Chains A and B, each alone.
Chain A
Amino acid sequence: MSTVHLQHEHNRETCRQYLESLGDYVEGTLAAELCREIEAHMAVCDNCRIVVNTLAKTITLYRQMPSPELPNAVRERLFAVLDLAPYYRPGPESEDEPDSVT
């Protein structure tokens, strides 16, 4: 652990320079040349390799997060507030508990 830490201190400036390109890197929109540079750096820098892996994982986790449904009660009140009550039709509401926010 401490050796990894020391290595990180040693490369800190380099790591910092790559930091702002990592977003484009994980999305695959970074120029090929810069990609190769970052990959070469990751081969010798565990910290940057971990940051890239976990950054990509973070994005994936949020993309896969189940989306909350619009409850019919909320939909119905919305139509009422908008003076559109006659147009209200219940939507397909899943049986599952809506995922809680808090």
Chain B
Amino acid sequence: MSHQDDSDLVARLKAGDQAAYAQLVNDHAARIYRLALRMMGNETDAEDVLQETFLSAFKSIDNFEERASLSTWLYRIATNAALMRLRRKEPELVSVEEPVERDDGDLLPRQFFDFCCLPEEDFLRAEARAEMLRAIDELPATLRSVFILRDVEGLSTEETAAALDLSISAVKSRLMRARLKLRERLATYFSQGPVIPETRQ
């Protein structure tokens, strides 16, 4: 959606038009819920983040400056709401001042099981899907937000940077760290072969 398309809607929102509010929700609620669900990892918290996002968007619509699109602006509000909530729930995963460049030591690949060409059904198993979601949940929240916006929601590097108030280079470096961590984890998981629940430690 271009900024141009937004401007009519923004004008109506700023004028307090109820139908415009409803349109904003209809246009974006599904996407924001998806983001919230991936960030929070459970439906209850995701719904809270969804409601919080639109409540605070409605409250601050007067401050909306059309440098960003409405969509990026909402992503930004939603990510902040999610991070704030995560900070309360799991402070150890969301240090506010996470160093942007940590020693590469923990990024160096250690698991070299080549799972890229496993039969497709291995990736479609419910177990594998659940493992992929758990892997997102266990990323530090600052990496998780970048990964979700870029690789799950498909935002560009620039849009992600705008939504998270990060520099382009910070987005790239966090995305790389997130992807390497996920790769490491999936390589470990798939190296164990198809999982038979009773025998898995």
A sample of 14 inter-chain contacts (CB < 8 A) reads: A8-B112, A47-B112, A51-B109, A53-B117, A57-B116, A58-B182, A59-B179, A62-B152, A74-B47, A81-B54, A82-B21, A82-B51, A82-B54, A87-B22
Given contacts A16-B104, A69-B30, contact A61 B132 (CB under 8 A): yes
Excluding A50-B114, A62-B151, A101-B42, 15 further A-B contacts by CB distance (< 8 Å) are A19-B180, A58-B186, A59-B179, A61-B123, A62-B132, A62-B152, A62-B182, A65-B132, A68-B33, A69-B30, A74-B47, A75-B29, A79-B25, A82-B55, A91-B30
- Which residue of chain B has the shortest Cβ distance to A100 in the bound complex? B130
Please tell me if the beta carbons of B175 and A23 are within 8 angstroms of each other in the complex.
Answer: yes
Q: Tally chain A residues at the interface, Cβ within 8 Å.
A: 44
- Residues on A with C-beta less than 8 A from B43 are 74, 101
* Chain A at the B interface: SS class: helix
Contact yes or no, B25 A54, CB < 8 A: no
Interface digits, B157-184 against A, CB 8 Å rule (1 contact, 0 not)? Answer: 0000000000000001101100110110
What number of residue pairs across chains A and B have CB atoms under 8 A from each other? 123
Contact of B112 among A16, A22, A50, A102 (CB under 8 A): A50
**Chain B residues with CB below 8 A from A102, complex form:** 41-42, 130, 133
User: Is there a chain B Cβ closer than 8 Å to A70's Cβ?
Assistant: yes
**Interfacial chain B residues near A15, Cβ < 8 Å:** 108
Nearest-Cβ distance from residue B60 to partner chain A, whole angstroms: 14
Residues of B within 8 A of A (CB): 18-19, 21-22, 25-26, 29-30, 33-34, 37, 41-43, 47, 50-51, 54-55, 58, 104, 107-109, 112-117, 123, 129-130, 132-133, 136, 147, 151-152, 154, 172-173, 175-176, 179-180, 182-183, 186-187
Q: Among B30, B37, B130, B183, find the residue whose CB has the most chain A CB atoms closer than 10 A.
A: B183
Query: Taking the complex as formed, is A78 at the interface, i.e. its CB lies under 8 A from any CB of chain B?
Result: yes
A35 at the interface (CB under 8 A from B): no
**Counting CB contacts under 8 A, is A55 at the interface?**
yes
Residues 61-92 of A at the B interface (beta carbon under 8 Å): 61-63, 65, 67-70, 74-75, 77-79, 81-82, 84, 87, 89, 91
Residues of B within 8 A of A56 (CB): 116
A87 to B58, CA, bound (A): 16
